[in-house]
Amino acid sequence: MSSNNWIVPDWPAPKNIIAISTTRNGGYSLSPYEQLNLGLHVGDDVDLVLKNRQLITDSAQLPEAPRWLEQTHSTDVLTSQNWQTDSVADAMVSQYSHHVCTIMTADCLPILLCDQQGTMVAAIHAGWRGLQAGIIEKTIAHFSCPPSEIMAWFGPAIGPSQFEVGEDVYQQFVGCDPQASSAFQSTDEQHYLANIYHLAKQRLNSNGISAIYGGQFCTVSDSQQFFSYRREGVTGRMATMIWLADK
How does pLDDT run across 62-115, given as a tens digit for each residue?
Answer: 999 999 999 999 999 999 999 999 999 999 999 999 999 999 999 999 999 999
pLDDT at 126: 98
Taking the CA atoms of the chain, what radius of gyration do you get in angstroms? Answer: 17
Q: How many of the other CB atoms lie within 10 Å of CB of 85?
A: 8
pLDDT tens, 124-142?
999 999 999 999 999 999 9
Query: Cα torsion at 245, 114, 197, 130 (round to 10°)?
Result: 100
The reported pLDDT for the residue numbered 4 is 76
Angle at 229 (CA atoms; ends 136, 23), nearest 5 degrees:
75
Instruction: Give the rounded distance of the alpha carbon of 95 from its chain centre.
Output: 19
Task: Look up the CATH superfamily of 3-157+208-244.
Answer: CNF1/YfiH-like putative cysteine hydrolases (3.60.140.10)
Question: What pTM was estimated for this model as a whole?
Answer: 0.96
Q: What is the pLDDT, as a whole number, of residue 240?
A: 98
Distances (CA, A) of 169 to 142, 158, 183: 27, 15, 12
Beta carbons of 165 and 181 less than 8 angstroms apart: no
Q: How confident is the model at residue 1 (pLDDT cuts 50, 70, 90)?
A: low
What confidence category does residue 10 fall into, taking pLDDT thresholds of 50, 70 and 90?
A: very high
Alpha carbon distance 164, 184 (integer Å): 9
DSSP state of 88: B
Q: Tell me: pLDDT of 216 over 80.
A: yes
189 band by pLDDT with thresholds 50, 70 and 90: confident
Q: Note the pLDDT of residue 3.
A: 67
Q: What is the mean pLDDT of the chain?
A: 96
**Confidence check: pLDDT of 50 > 80:** yes
Class of residue 98 by CB neighbours under 10 A (exposed 0-12, middle 13-18, buried 19+): middle
C-alpha–C-alpha distance, residues 99 and 226, integer Å:
25
Q: With pLDDT > 90 as the criterion, what percentage of the chain qualifies?
A: 97
Cα–Cα distance between 84 and 114 in angstroms, integer? 22
**Cβ atoms within 10 Å, residue 165:** 18
At 58-72, the pLDDT tens digits run 999 999 999 999 999
Cα-based torsion angle of the residue sequence 168, 173, 178, 181 in order, rounded to the nearest 10 degrees: -70
